[in-house]
Structure 1
């Protein structure tokens, strides 16, 4: 088992500075410059060397391999309720994830990556829009549980903006940003949709939280009673192997390892959950009477194999070199997740609720074997992908994320900034190594995450000025957002 001082025992990257390769886009150099301008404040000087801990060591810088004009395909993969340390490369002592570990070794593994919120749909809002969830009515639901709200089709999204620059767009898997007839991926910029609308479903029957059938192709029901992760893996593999005549964006949103705790082959447990749902037990899908650490391990390892199959299909298609692949979780882990050394879990703004594994690979442009401890969160990836694709954000909908294109591809430093979170009853801000946090019990707390990832040593009394600054930033930002409904 990993020790508290070394939560990532499998890390073995050499030390040095972050490495990236030269990047230009024939179609988007001007737009890329505009997107970089989304960063708050002037460019900072190079930061001091980080303390030498295994998860922060980076590969020596290598010279750029030349310019490149092709815009990449984008394969953006989300796990569901996967905890920060649930991958073996992040320290899980009992879960083996060789395919995801290899993905990280082939590019960049981020140790300080965060979701845009602490639950499913607000994070998806932040990713699809590049903005804080609280800027939209649908993003106030934590998470969406009824048909009254969703991602408004008039709001620009990552998909609609990329489609406007010539990308083909598809979403396969969990949507969770609103229900038909008003909300759908096909109304928000995705050319194709295959998956479920709600926050969870039983893996075989496809029954959702309201007992309704929830598997769709486009906006029409699609019948397939096989194990859901298998279906999504097949669909995604088929998509990446098509003979595409334009660059493409595929959002692949697995429901694994979200409850119910049903692995491939658990047909008897599936039938029991379905029986309870059909008898009127609407809470049966939460599976409070099921699951185990071993079952969770089985589901995470199945997710790993499934991602591996999609990546194999991508390689066979001949598009691997020019495809940017990103993998993360939509929020922190749940009941059976391995979170050490973090405190808290899903729904909380403690580290365990919002810090997530994040892996990025782009063979044509980014060197392999790197680790970054730069604090980043979901809206940053929206800004980054728009820059790389040469797409401009909509002026009326300014992004809250910062493009990391310069950091990843041109050797630029990211100016110190604040990452902001708000959920009902909790608040948080991260600036550099410091985190301001107030939980549901009240009382402002301040933690140095470099020294105290577990958020146990409250430094508020020793750093009153810093605490006041971060609290003031949170208050100013919160004042710009929509209030929660009473």
Structure 2
């Protein structure tokens, strides 16, 4: 027995070393099962189809985002649900077209939660699948009860009431008050002796405003955005108090990226879903000094470089944690591009030959293609074969697709407009949607090579943002194979196609179509 008692520890040590050597370097004990990959959804603000070098931009490079494209699938016909932010985000969370529910237009900074707490949502589906869920960054879906949020107490209901385990939020957008971060239910660093008040109806308090005190501004508004001044920038809406809690715009990208990385590290031992919603490249565009002046295109180009850096930080953190091979990364934008969206920031003057929308017509707010066709990438090493997909896809389908990926069955009333397109998102199928509805100034539908825009009496051109909105009192029909796209209205010569697509659009608007 003495002989074996001396040998046994040595054998156990050798077996332990052998087990360590055999373990693949990209796998850690903290990695969840491959059947439930981590999911990181990077949702960008106002990024255009032509704003990345992997989509043809030549005035600057976006190497970290390009790396996702090189390692994954780059979609050329992927769409946000709306050409503005709040509706797209509502659809992303609920799998329901935003025009089905009143009050889902662009939200004010003091809007109450617009997603009913009894709804099934993308994060609540993933919670059912055993995921820890977190949202970091821009929210813009409202916070608080119908009576209004109390910014000096628990700010709820919000993300934690609709399926998220953790939240660190920019409550609305950077150009709207309140200019504070909200972590879970509380305003971060709030001094109780300096309570916050917010109004979008009338001026409150005696804080200086951009309209009354332009000499205090480091960035002047071009249209609107002339109310309470925070960090030398006037905003939409009035705010008093909360001075200790107010953000510094130049630090915002670093702050939310640090929070996103901390969420991944904290939850590395189980499957997690991170909805990382960047503020870039929305106005006000105030890059950190590391990026200011680096693009040559002014602040708009600089914050694209800053965005690329943040994406690189997320992917590097996954590498560091040994989670890259078991993480599905989805990258896209809430709507298309806008150059001047309310501030004099040299975006127009320094644009040069850069084309934010690429070859597409329109932009943010528009029913034309540049309003909703946005850069979209899917990367999952070893699971998604690198390449390019021309499949017609929509963000409305992320909820049902990720439910299928994680083995969750959906009832008919859950995420009603969302369809399971997971094989297309993973590149296992090149078959896209049979149609995509585009929600802009007018309603539009794309089926095959044809696009129909329903008649609308709105203005055709928005002079402040310099974008064609796609409104016209007559029906519009475009063959998307025409070059240039959406320039020749073929409605008069194709009345049968107009009727067919108008009836399809009406059918979709009346009720969800069968799954």
Taking structure 2 as the reference length, what is the TM-score of the superposition? 0.70
Aligned to 2:135: 171
Question: Shift in Å at residue 93 of structure 1?
Answer: 2.1
Aligned to 1:449: 480
Question: Shift in Å at residue 436 of structure 1?
Answer: 0.7
Question: Shift in Å at residue 70 of structure 1?
Answer: 2.2
Are residues 1:219 and 2:185 paired?
Answer: yes
CA distance in 2, matches of 1:292, 1:333: 18
- Gapped runs of 5+ residues in structure 2? 1-32, 150-155, 190-246, 340-346, 348-354, 455-469
Q: For residues 412 and 82 of structure 1, do their structure 2 counterparts lie closer, same or farther at Cα, with a shift above 3 Å needed?
A: closer
1:227 is paired with a residue of what secondary structure?
helix
Q: For residues 328 and 453 of structure 1, do their structure 2 counterparts lie closer, same or farther at Cα, with a shift above 3 Å needed?
A: farther
Contact residue 110 and residue 374 of structure 1 kept, 8 A: yes
CA distance in 2, matches of 1:320, 1:426: 41
- Gapped runs of 5+ residues in structure 1? 1-67, 202-207, 270-290, 482-486
Q: What do the CA deviations read for 1:459-483 (whole angstroms, capped 9, x no partner)?
A: 21232211111111112222339xx
Question: Shift in Å at residue 355 of structure 1?
Answer: 0.8
Are residues 1:258 and 2:282 paired?
Answer: yes
Contact residue 138 and residue 149 of structure 1 kept, 8 A: no
The structure 2 residue matched to 1:185, chosen from 159, 172, 181, is: 159
1:92 is paired with a residue of what secondary structure?
coil
| Structure index of larger Rg | 2
Q: What do the CA deviations read for 1:151-203 (whole angstroms, capped 9, x no partner)?
A: 111111000111012110000001111122454111110000012111x21xx
CA distance in 1, matches of 2:442, 2:496: 21
Aligned to 1:311: 315
CA distance in 1, matches of 2:432, 2:314: 35
Contact residue 49 and residue 374 of structure 2 kept, 8 A: yes
1:125 is paired with a residue of what secondary structure?
helix
Are residues 1:422 and 2:439 paired?
Answer: yes
Are residues 1:298 and 2:262 paired?
Answer: no
Contact residue 241 and residue 316 of structure 1 kept, 8 A: no
Contact residue 428 and residue 435 of structure 1 kept, 8 A: yes
Question: Shift in Å at residue 267 of structure 1?
Answer: 12
Q: For residues 447 and 144 of structure 1, do their structure 2 counterparts lie closer, same or farther at Cα, with a shift above 3 Å needed?
A: farther
Question: Shift in Å at residue 440 of structure 1?
Answer: 2.5
Question: Shift in Å at residue 266 of structure 1?
Answer: 9.5
Question: Shift in Å at residue 385 of structure 1?
Answer: 1.1
- Structure with the bigger RCO (C-alpha within 8 Å, sep 6+) is 1
Q: How do 1:112-127 residues align onto structure 2 when only pairs under 5 Å count?
A: 112-127=77-92
Question: Shift in Å at residue 441 of structure 1?
Answer: 2.7
Q: How do 1:62-461 residues align onto structure 2 when only pairs under 5 Å count?
A: 70-139=35-104, 141-144=105-108, 146-148=110-112, 150-180=114-144, 181=149, 182-198=156-172, 200-201=173-174, 209-210=176-177, 212-223=178-189, 225=248, 227-242=251-266, 244-265=268-289, 293-335=297-339, 336=347, 338-368=356-386, 370-408=387-425, 411-412=428-429, 414=431, 417-423=434-440, 425-438=441-454, 439-452=470-483, 454-461=485-492
Q: What do the CA deviations read for 1:309-329 (whole angstroms, capped 9, x no partner)?
A: 110010110110010001001
- What is the number of equivalent residue pairs in this alignment? 382
The structure 1 residue matched to 2:509, chosen from 458, 478, 481, is: 478
Q: What do the CA deviations read for 1:41-74 (whole angstroms, capped 9, x no partner)?
A: xxxxxxxxxxxxxxxxxxxxxxxxxxx9521110
Question: Shift in Å at residue 257 of structure 1?
Answer: 0.7
Q: What do the CA deviations read for 1:92-137 (whole angstroms, capped 9, x no partner)?
A: 1213101101101101000111101111110001111112112233
Q: For residues 429 and 94 of structure 1, do their structure 2 counterparts lie closer, same or farther at Cα, with a shift above 3 Å needed?
A: same
CA distance in 1, matches of 2:54, 2:471: 32
Contact residue 168 and residue 247 of structure 1 kept, 8 A: yes
Taking structure 1 as the reference length, what is the TM-score of the superposition? 0.74
2:375 is paired with a residue of what secondary structure?
strand
CA distance in 1, matches of 2:381, 2:108: 37
Aligned to 2:212: none
CA distance in 2, matches of 1:454, 1:190: 40
Contact residue 95 and residue 300 of structure 1 kept, 8 A: no
Q: For residues 216 and 90 of structure 1, do their structure 2 counterparts lie closer, same or farther at Cα, with a shift above 3 Å needed?
A: same
CA distance in 2, matches of 1:240, 1:93: 33
